[in-house]
Amino acid sequence: MTRLERLFHEQGQSPWLDNLKRGYITSGDLARLIDEGIRGITSNPTIFQKAIAGQAEYDDQFRGLMERKQSVDDAYWDLVIDDVQHALDLLRPLYVESGGGDGFVSIEVAPGLANDTEGTIASARQLDDRIEQPNLLVKIPATAAGIPAIRQMIAEGRSINITLIFSLERYAEVIEAYFSGLEDCEGDLGRVHSVASFFVSRVDTEVDRRLQKIGTDEALALRGKAAVAQAKLAYELFTSRFRGERWEALSDQGARVQRPLWASTSTKNPAYPDTLYVDSLIGPDTINTMPDATIDAFERRGTLACTINKNLDQAHQVMDDLARIGVDMADVGRVLEEEGVASFAKSFDELMGALNDKAAELLESS
């Protein structure tokens, strides 16, 4: 049994792949990863930008789409949805076997809609209706405009991956949107799936920058501790909210917990262990979505023990110490949310620019 398989069977955490590209599908690598224990896939505009831009494996399909006079924007979605559909097919047996517990693939609404509630709702509906697979998760960012869209989609019985969560305050809003959406949903609650993607490593990147600027010995001693501490408190919030009368009333109707998903788990600072954001956040009813290098590192030497609820007092102390020396974690979350939205939008714009250039070249050569 691989470490990835043991992570799920012994610790109750689902390892997902944070990557999707056509070569994985055509080469059989994705099927192999599923056999080795990967239980879901996440994608985002940056991942697709890296996969499609400059890669010849998409050229034939793109050329055919252009010959049929499709717009470049429509062609982009055809390319992406084709990859997602094939991944959904590969993971469908796991979805069935797990009773809807795993086997999901995520696709994100266009990043330019992050501050547009109605646009997000329309796009999420369109993607969900077009793909129409039970193991699809449509990704909606947890911006202020995204929260009401999330609630509306859950109320309509659609399955949603809430992405770009960087703070405990926003995470609490995400949980409330899920509860409220379920309470408004008139369909089968058991068919509604949702995960809450809490970003990790970028928190240390931003907090460490602020600690370096403060420069005191006390501040410097806190470097590399904020991200794990905040994620542990997020799990504490998860376990406290998904119990009690309100949740039990929904659970009795078949509702499923909205699992925390640890995202951005590759280590950005080379001084930190490359499995830091996996080893420290293992626990039941959670997901860790890992890029390829992190999967390889975990398979070689990753921890296989429940760690998410260990040293909670220390995690609270870290957050208290950060506040005391002037690190405003709410502001950290705001900055990272804005940067995350801007980063995805930049990747999307760069990809669309590359596709437009490629379309022009095809037109000239025809």
| Domain definitions of the chain by residue range | 3-199+257-309+337-365
Q: How far apart are CA 13 and CA 102, in angstroms?
A: 11
> What are the angstrom distances between the C-alpha of 168 and each of 115, 149, 271, 335?
20, 19, 26, 14
Q: Which residues have a Cβ under 8 Å from the Cβ of 287 and sit 6 or more positions away?
A: 13, 14, 15, 16, 40, 195, 259, 260, 261, 262
Among 192, 321, 344, 208, smallest CA distance to 263 is for: 344
The helix/strand/coil state of 201 is helix
Q: Are 210 and 332 in contact (CB under 8 A)?
A: yes
Q: Are 352 and 253 in contact (CB under 8 A)?
A: no
Structure token pair of residue 218: 């006390």
Among 323, 240, 265, smallest CA distance to 16 is for: 265
> What are the angstrom distances between the C-alpha of 63 and each of 57, 72, 75, 169, 361?
11, 11, 9, 46, 10
Fold of 3-199+257-309+337-365: TIM Barrel (3.20.20)
Q: Are 159 and 193 in contact (CB under 8 A)?
A: yes
pLDDT by residue for the chain (366 residues), tens only, comes to 999 999 999 999 999 999 999 999 999 999 999 999 999 999 888 888 888 876 788 888 888 888 887 888 898 899 999 999 999 999 999 999 999 999 999 999 999 999 999 999 999 999 999 999 999 999 999 999 999 999 999 999 999 999 999 999 999 999 999 999 999 999 999 999 999 999 999 999 999 999 999 999 999 999 999 999 999 999 999 999 999 999 999 999 999 999 999 999 999 999 999 999 999 999 999 999 999 999 999 999 999 999 999 999 999 999 999 999 999 999 999 999 999 999 999 988 988 888 888 788 776 665
Q: How far apart are CA 208 and CA 226, in angstroms?
A: 8
Q: Are 179 and 202 in contact (CB under 8 A)?
A: no
Q: Are 138 and 127 in contact (CB under 8 A)?
A: yes
- Number of C-alpha atoms within 13 angstroms, CB side, residue 223? 17
Active-site positions? 139
Give the per-residue pLDDT at 63.
84
DSSP assignment of 287-340: EEEE-HHHHHHHHHH---S--TTSSHHHHHHHHHHHHHTT--HHHHHHHHHHHH
